[in-house]
Structure 1
């Protein structure tokens, strides 16, 4: 669980050690088994988003140590209406938050009301987040009147908005190993939901929704940070008071009556960016009841904010694959590694992404089959390609000598940027793992198209797919960020030529370079043209280069395909041997 500690000045106290913390479960002290000071100095993760104009493979894992914070930016059109100044300040505030995120932070933009009511994927891609912010265009009247029908419309809108925030709290409740929060930019609830009056009935129902939202947020340690986009005013409105109360009750910060934006953004980023990760083994029985957690700090004059407890329930290991792909963040119960490789298709207006999926066999764990759902969604969340797989537990078909299980999915996609959403379920125990990764599919050169560079492992079967799938890439790509020391690897590059008169064997040559982390070139014996030509056909083919056994370390592999006309294209691949 995460814990935020602030001093008397309200700024994070980020110099505490393990001995400074005390944790009590149901009033009894527990022994902390894990402690980490987290924040801006957290190590970066592997797998930066690919540029859509450059075909490169993307590697991702759901078993990497989590780093960075998780923030949901909620832009609420309530009470903003046609007031351009408020809409502009809303976008300015949200953009400043995105500018302040670190590379390992994950954020999503959710718009409520207006012309679009959408949620972006949780991502570290600032361009995608800013594009979602730019689409926030509130519509409607500046302020509804005071007739009963208009008041009812206000209540109905506020009811829906608070329910949407509640769904976000539920989605973030499962994130236990990193700092999380909801940033609500809104005109607030135009009623005093804390003290009434409730003589007309329906505000009482709204108050019930808000109180339950606060209870869920406190139990899940999801603080609400609120910002009112209007400028300084006196006295403050019920909407401003409601935002203040939401932040106070959930452990967040409020900025509801200010002309300045940058200092408030800096305060929010500072508060969410420096925190502690604490872990202990719970003695609570699996009884479905709520068990309290009390986190204390021995240093005087500081304030600690952490989750107030948890419901002790049996771990949920099984859910639908579709639900796992729709979840805001990946599921790590079943560890996975994934690589997505953009590949051209001969004579087709579309290209493809071949998704290599890898699991490790767990000693003593038997299973019957694996089910996989692989989706590619565009940046608006619409599914553009889908593949379902069922892989039976046959070591000769899906295993190799390293104890890994490897198989592949093939997706047809037009050029653009996509989110790969991969979920795998192990049967019969139902354990699920999922991974989300961005991949760019370029507009391949129609005359001389070259895929992203990828790896495959020697000995992997190539006949588990029907011919139409094998034609896209007749091999199983393996993640390049965690290959085994001494593993038998081959570099793979697909080349497609539009001129059928060219003899690929004579028309294409390859230059290969391998360097270590210091930039030193390692000697590689050029592959015989006959070996490369064995995989060539009238429209091009597959270049396969056996790599030497490599010791542990970080490397960069580059392959340049050169036509007899002088045209050439280079593809590179970072390679990590563990």
Structure 2
């Protein structure tokens, strides 16, 4: 079966899992459209900069901030370097079509309901793509506290099923695994929990006070500016990395930078003209050139990548008053002396000016990319909602540029300023402000080699669908081998290429790349295999209908969050499939009550022995079944398996009249001193759409005959009757240890399945 195995030696550090392979998009506007017939799909390239077409996106709002969607090309004017351009392409793209199911929203989930199983999205399913960039290089300890609370509410209340979201820190402190685009709330919650205040952030410069000697004050000011500049460039570098990661995602994307702010200008506030270009004007503001240069490059990259950057001031409304933490050692007050009062006034003015100046960077960055800055509010949750509401749609406006636009003079890339105006009174338009005079380059070459294709599919946040893959991953622990993750992968055989060898056998060859990432984003296990499978004619006909399963086992040395990402390539057709699974491995050594993952399958006969995937063989797909409890209790090499896979442990598609059977393992049950036996109770519940539809009785667990009372294997079953209609369900098991302390005496586990007709 396995012809060779080789190490890929992948040094992959994934803060973002992005790919261009096989991406389509759900946003396809028609061109040459005189009126904005509202399209529900749009082109992959929202922003184009080529020698024969420059296309930008724009959002129009009324005085109340509501989007205006009924404009046509005659309502707009677009200028490049103050020269009016003829609009040749125009359309309005709506991204607000994928509304959540109102029936689902109307039903409040049961209080103790297990979470909704995550789904890996396809490109055409994505409604909104947003990266929340938390500037821990520029957040105070108080701001970090409120930001974490706002992010948790955002995940709880505002994320919709078709949203693709990443939470990123500018310092990278939460680790690469958790800094990825996902629709899995578990990953987002884990990222929020890992966020910490950075004591070396901007604004933590050496303390000073009025009355300090000028030489010392000057030295401290210089050190403070150097620190601020260093961390500001770090913030912009992190944003640059985020935007590059989003470049190959389809459609119009958004970044929300949450920060206390950063400075661009060292002296007086800029004029409106200087906000557009800090280098022009009769009295140009003094800028930090390194910061401005990074800003220009970032905004050009964002514009070419169809990324809109929004910013939010996490500090909220400020009072600028001193508090107990303020160093006032340089201020001396005495009766009849007004100098101390002047020093307090100076502190107030300086604090207010500093706060204002720190917001100019946030305003400038948002202004340049068509976004807006959320400021002067303590409602961070409401600020995030404003940004999400701005994703409802946008106009695409294009024109044919002059040849001189891309002319190169002395190697200098000229920056071309774009101004979009709306002619209808009372409306406001936001758009991108310009681009460098170079055409778009291909974002990344099309993968050609075997490894390039597999890695491309592995890196994408979207599911490659050339070969349909499904996966179930679970945690288990073995007394000898320790903890491990076991993943069952279902492969749709009809997507593979089979050839007839002339002797009644059918052969196929496919490549598999599987990489497991730890919390830091580092690779903890990798496996690259090429499989040659050979099946009889009878088995071939069956797997063409049902597919077959594939098992991967990964030893786990440390507890924590892990993600297994698998890509598969059909050698003959080069079709690709990919799938990923996030799993948290608990710390068994804490001696607390814990449960393994659940293995579930269905059978036609009401048997107490659960059905399971079959054992693989070295040269051909085998059809012999085994007890699924072995999946939880023994180590195994990678295997290809075949069985009645539709009702098996990966697909879990059961029909009415079948017996649902499940098995799991209880770890660390406390033992009674007198009998040296545990006292455990178990209960099973079923949920549909967050509502409990069945609850079994709480029953004491008989552990007679169990070989290892620290690893108690439990099985159960349920006949699926006609009162359970077709649909998506979740099975939950609840175990209570009557001998354990109250705060650690209950554990729960869940698994989803489907009832079909």
> What does residue 218 of structure 1 align with?
303
> What does residue 159 of structure 1 align with?
233
Indicate whether 1:483 and 2:483 are aligned.
no
Indicate whether 1:37 and 2:132 are aligned.
no
Rounded Cα–Cα distance in structure 2 between residues aligned with 1:514 and 1:111: 38
Indicate whether 1:276 and 2:392 are aligned.
yes
Indicate whether 1:173 and 2:247 are aligned.
yes
One of 185, 194, 216 as aligned partner of 1:124: 185
Q: Is the 8 A contact 1:373 1:388 kept in 2?
A: yes
Q: TM-score, normalised by structure 1?
A: 0.66
* Gap change, CA 1:88 and 1:508, over 3 Å in 2: closer
* Gap change, CA 1:515 and 1:160, over 3 Å in 2: closer
One of 610, 614, 634 as aligned partner of 1:461: 614
Rounded Cα–Cα distance in structure 1 between residues aligned with 2:130 and 2:219: 38
TM superposition shift of 1:169:
0.6
* Gap change, CA 1:30 and 1:359, over 3 Å in 2: farther
> What does residue 477 of structure 2 align with?
344
C-alpha RMSD over aligned residues? 6.0
- Post-superposition Cα deviations, 1:396-441, rounded to whole Å, max 9, x if no partner, equal 4998343535322222336854131313141547665554543233
* Gap change, CA 1:434 and 1:494, over 3 Å in 2: same
Rounded Cα–Cα distance in structure 1 between residues aligned with 2:719 and 2:420: 52
Q: Which segments of 5 or more consecutive residues in structure 1 lack a partner in the other structure?
A: 46-53, 81-85, 283-289, 500-506, 524-532
Q: TM-score, normalised by structure 2?
A: 0.53
Rounded Cα–Cα distance in structure 1 between residues aligned with 2:145 and 2:242: 20
Report 1:63-462 matches (<5 A).
63=122, 65-67=125-127, 69-78=129-138, 86-93=140-147, 95-101=149-155, 102-104=158-160, 107-112=165-170, 120-122=178-180, 124-125=185-186, 127-138=189-200, 141-142=205-206, 145=219, 155-176=229-250, 180-191=254-265, 194-196=277-279, 203-204=288-289, 206-228=291-313, 231=318, 233-234=352-353, 238-255=357-374, 258=376, 260-262=377-379, 265-273=381-389, 275-276=391-392, 316=446, 319=452, 329-330=461-462, 332=464, 336-346=469-479, 350-361=482-493, 368-378=509-519, 380-381=520-521, 383=523, 385-392=524-531, 394=533, 396=535, 400-413=543-556, 416-428=559-571, 434-442=578-586, 451-456=596-601, 460-462=613-615
* Gap change, CA 1:405 and 1:146, over 3 Å in 2: farther
Higher Cα Rg, which structure? 2
Indicate whether 1:61 and 2:120 are aligned.
yes
Rounded Cα–Cα distance in structure 2 between residues aligned with 1:511 and 1:239: 56
Rounded Cα–Cα distance in structure 2 between residues aligned with 1:241 and 1:160: 17
Q: Is the 8 A contact 1:187 1:239 kept in 2?
A: yes
Q: Is the 8 A contact 1:95 1:133 kept in 2?
A: no
Q: Higher mean Cα deviation, 329-338 or 313-322?
A: 313-322
Rounded Cα–Cα distance in structure 2 between residues aligned with 1:370 and 1:21: 54
Rounded Cα–Cα distance in structure 2 between residues aligned with 1:414 and 1:339: 21
Rounded Cα–Cα distance in structure 1 between residues aligned with 2:420 and 2:578: 32
Rounded Cα–Cα distance in structure 1 between residues aligned with 2:754 and 2:564: 24
* Gap change, CA 1:148 and 1:508, over 3 Å in 2: closer
Q: Higher mean Cα deviation, 432-441 or 308-317?
A: 308-317
Q: Secondary structure at the match of 2:96?
A: strand
> What does residue 634 of structure 2 align with?
471
* Gap change, CA 1:174 and 1:321, over 3 Å in 2: same
Rounded Cα–Cα distance in structure 2 between residues aligned with 1:29 and 1:189: 38
Q: Is the 8 A contact 2:170 2:234 kept in 1?
A: no
* Gap change, CA 1:406 and 1:416, over 3 Å in 2: same
> What does residue 622 of structure 2 align with?
none
Give the number of equivalent residue pairs. Answer: 524
Rounded Cα–Cα distance in structure 2 between residues aligned with 1:316 and 1:424: 17
> What does residue 11 of structure 1 align with?
65
Q: Is the 8 A contact 2:600 2:661 kept in 1?
A: yes
Rounded Cα–Cα distance in structure 2 between residues aligned with 1:173 and 1:111: 19
- Post-superposition Cα deviations, 1:304-362, rounded to whole Å, max 9, x if no partner, equal 668999767788456476676666x44546554322222232355x3332122234356
Rounded Cα–Cα distance in structure 2 between residues aligned with 1:342 and 1:270: 40
Q: Which segments of 5 or more consecutive residues in structure 2 lack a partner in the other structure?
A: 1-26, 28-41, 43-56, 79-85, 105-112, 208-217, 267-274, 320-351, 399-405, 407-417, 499-507, 603-610, 619-629, 670-678, 697-703, 740-744
- Post-superposition Cα deviations, 1:36-73, rounded to whole Å, max 9, x if no partner, equal 5158747899xxxxxxxx99996643448335552222
TM superposition shift of 1:168:
0.4
Q: Secondary structure at the match of 1:400?
A: helix
Q: Higher mean Cα deviation, 166-175 or 153-162?
A: 153-162
Q: Is the 8 A contact 1:4 1:271 kept in 2?
A: no
Q: Secondary structure at the match of 2:307?
A: coil
* Gap change, CA 1:113 and 1:336, over 3 Å in 2: same
TM superposition shift of 1:211:
1.0
Rounded Cα–Cα distance in structure 1 between residues aligned with 2:688 and 2:374: 50
Q: Is the 8 A contact 1:60 1:338 kept in 2?
A: no
Q: Secondary structure at the match of 1:224?
A: strand
